[in-house]
Amino acid sequence: MSKKRMMGLFGDFEEAHDAIADIRRNEVPGLTVDDVTMTSPIEHPDVEEVLGDRPVHLQKFTLFGAVFGVTFGFLFLAAAQASFLVQPQGGKPIIPLPSNFVLMYEMLIFFAVWLTFFAFIFLSGLLRKRSALYSEKVSLDQVAIIVEIDESIGESVKGLFEKHKVLEIREEAIR
Amino acid sequence: MTMVTEKDINEQIAWAKINTDVLKSMENPRPAYWVTLAVCIAMVACAVVAEYIQYTVGMGTANLNNPHMWDMYIAAFVFWIGMSHSGTLLSAILHLIHADWRKPIYRFAEAMTTFSLMTAGIFPMIHLGRVWNLYWVLPYVSDRGIWPNFRSPLVWDAFAITTYLTASMLFLFVGMIPDLAICRDNTTGWRKKLYTILSLGWVGSDKQWRNFRKIYLLMACFLIPLAVSVHSIVSADFAMSIMPGWHITTFPPYFVAGALYSGCAAIITLFILLRYFFRFEDYMTLPIMEKTAKLTFAIAMVWTYLNLIEFASVWYGHDIYNKELLIAKATGAYAWIFWTMLFCGSVLPFALAFRKLRRHMPTMFVVSLFLNLGMFFERWMIVAPTLSMSQEPHQWDIMYGSIVEWAIVFGSFGWFGMLFLIFVKVFPSVSMYEVKEMVFHRKRSLGEEDLVRMTDHAKPATQTTGREGT
């Protein structure tokens, strides 16, 4: 059975919220909330809530970056300092921990921030070609609900969107 | 009697108008914008000539000698590092405490952070003399025999400022991505190409917003301790020495308070300029100016308190060198700078306590400039008197900057202004999506259901296929 993507543009969050709530209540057989993507001009936790639990894993990368940063920071500095063996230290340690802590702290933040940024790009699906269903009106003031469905339930989904005062419907076939 | 609270922003403002106003600002500023930009470029040109003279003749042209090997360059460096704390304060701290009035003005404060760090970063190079050996500060593992001193706060500076610069640039960039997508969708020509690349394919999906919310929070959490560490480390440049006037325990908080103070004062200056240049009266409103002014006043009082604490501990500590230096600051050759600093930094902020003055833009503009003059003098008073009156009287010497030094410092203001003005012309200086959020949530908190509607579409559903215009 062929599949397609359908996008409904809504004038406000309330209607979009209600439409997703109807999908969650299985008002259209064969369509679940997991098939739904919402695009909006602002972040809206209430509407995202009705989409269900979609965990974010960004913080794990941040933690990894922080641990890597502090470890790398120490090794990097210690390696540089160890090559100073030939320099007279006047009784001071070759690898001075207190001052290294300051630099390791900076390295911790440096790598945590950069890794978080790269993870953000990767996890958010950025740097990919935009779908033909993207509407520029979303960056203005409209909310879009995009669903991936079988051709057979297309009319039911359209009916659901229209029930919630959809402003415009667009479709594209999934090859 | 009921008290009517003035709104930070008009909740009735349409989302389309927010887009239009901000996008228009990038095309069509007032002529004063171009005049200011030309002045900034002229200032940079003066600095380039001065730097050329210093580069070819030597550091003596800047009146630098022994014991005055630092002076105005390092004072300017500290000043610009301090200025960079504005973005962290408005963006990160106020974000974490959910102060949504920051939303129309935080973008330019973040840009200030980035550009003031870029300005500060120039001073170690200028001050170095042998600029071509700059890479020696990089502690990469090698057998070059350079021996960077890892116990020196100057090496810590290199690490801290690099981290702060890159992190604040990322923070600025990440926060702009949704707005860059708006720009991409509403512009043509070179701008469209630029915004298409920079928006990284943002479409505003729920997945993107969830990750966006998280990264913004994480970066804000990192940026606050980072900003504190950067200025603490800059203060360590002085406090780790045993020079009178520098070896002071309260230096790190004193520097951080001073940084926030000068950053806030600069936000007021640029707030007024941008409001005028780009006709942002609907977004940079008087109530927001009032809140910024109150914040500045509060920080000014903290700074004043830390000053008094420092004076008191020196006075009652009976360390002969420190006490003599304090007396010399108040009565010696630099006394006029000392008293101007105290007047601008501690007395003038009381103007911000008056509602009428807080709402009068020309007054606020002048006051904010004087506040920052006071903060520049503060940095001068940290550096110069100690070098002039160290422990060894045979080295005592009064020093004021030469014309070369002044031209370079003056040019740094032009450099900062030039970068900032180019930025606000190319990128949205008001965060469109955050202002929309602010309007949306404030409408909702009013409990007026009708108002929650973003648009007034009443047209019937139509069906099209594929992307618009294709």
Q: Are B266 and B299 in contact (CB under 8 A)?
A: no
Same structural domain, A95 and A137:
no
Query: Which CATH number is A33's domain given?
Result: 3.30.70.120
Residue B221 CA from chain centroid, whole number: 18
Domain enclosing residue A44, as ranges: 3-55+132-173
Same structural domain, A51 and A136:
yes
- pLDDT of B462 higher than 80: no
In chain A, the number of structural domains is 2
Same structural domain, A31 and A116:
no
- pLDDT of B222 higher than 90: yes
Distance CA B428, CA B107 (A): 8
- Ramachandran angles phi, psi of A142, nearest 5°: -115, 160
Domains with residue ranges and CATH for chain B = 29-131+147-448 (1.20.1630.10)
pTM of the predicted model as reported, rounded to 2 decimal places: 0.91
Taking an 8 Å cut-off on Cβ atoms, the answer to whether B210 and A54 are in contact is yes
Sign of the C-alpha dihedral, residues B186, B469, B197, A175? Answer: positive
Letter for the amino acid at B232? S
Residue in this structure with the two tokens 């200028």, named with its chain if needed: B126
Same structural domain, A116 and A80:
yes
- Taking phi over 0 as left and psi of -120 to 50 as alpha, with beta for the rest, A30 belongs to left
Same structural domain, A64 and A77:
yes
Taking an 8 Å cut-off on Cβ atoms, the answer to whether B203 and A130 are in contact is yes
More confident residue, B49 or B64: B49
Show which of residues 405-444 on chain B sit within 8 Å of chain A, judged by CB atoms. Answer: 433, 436-437, 440
SS3 B69: coil
More confident residue, B441 or B448: B441
ipTM confidence score: 0.92
- Taking phi over 0 as left and psi of -120 to 50 as alpha, with beta for the rest, B466 belongs to left
Minimal Cα distance from B138: which residue of A? A80
Closest CA to B231 of B131, B338, B37, B85: B85
- pLDDT of A6 higher than 60: yes
Q: How confident is the model at residue B466 (pLDDT cuts 50, 70, 90)?
A: very low
What's the confidence (pLDDT) of residue B452? 47
Same structural domain, A149 and A92:
no
Residue in this structure with the two tokens 């506040």, named with its chain if needed: B371
Looking at mean pLDDT, say which of A49-63, B353-367, B382-396 comes out highest.
Answer: B353-367
Same structural domain, A46 and A67:
no
Same structural domain, A116 and A62:
yes
Query: What's the full length of chain A, in residues?
Result: 175
What's the confidence (pLDDT) of residue A128? 83
What the block records as the tokens of B274 is 């941008």
Distance from CA of B317 to the nearest CA of A (A): 28
What's the confidence (pLDDT) of residue B249? 86
Same structural domain, A87 and A142:
no
| B142, B185, B200 ranked by CB distance to A127: nearest | B200
More confident residue, B147 or A10: A10
Q: Are A61 and A115 in contact (CB under 8 A)?
A: yes
Give the Cα-Cα-Cα angle B93, B96, B97 (nearest 5 degrees).
90
Distance CA B405, CA B416 (A): 17
Tens-digit pLDDT profile for residues B87-110: 777 788 888 888 888 999 999 999
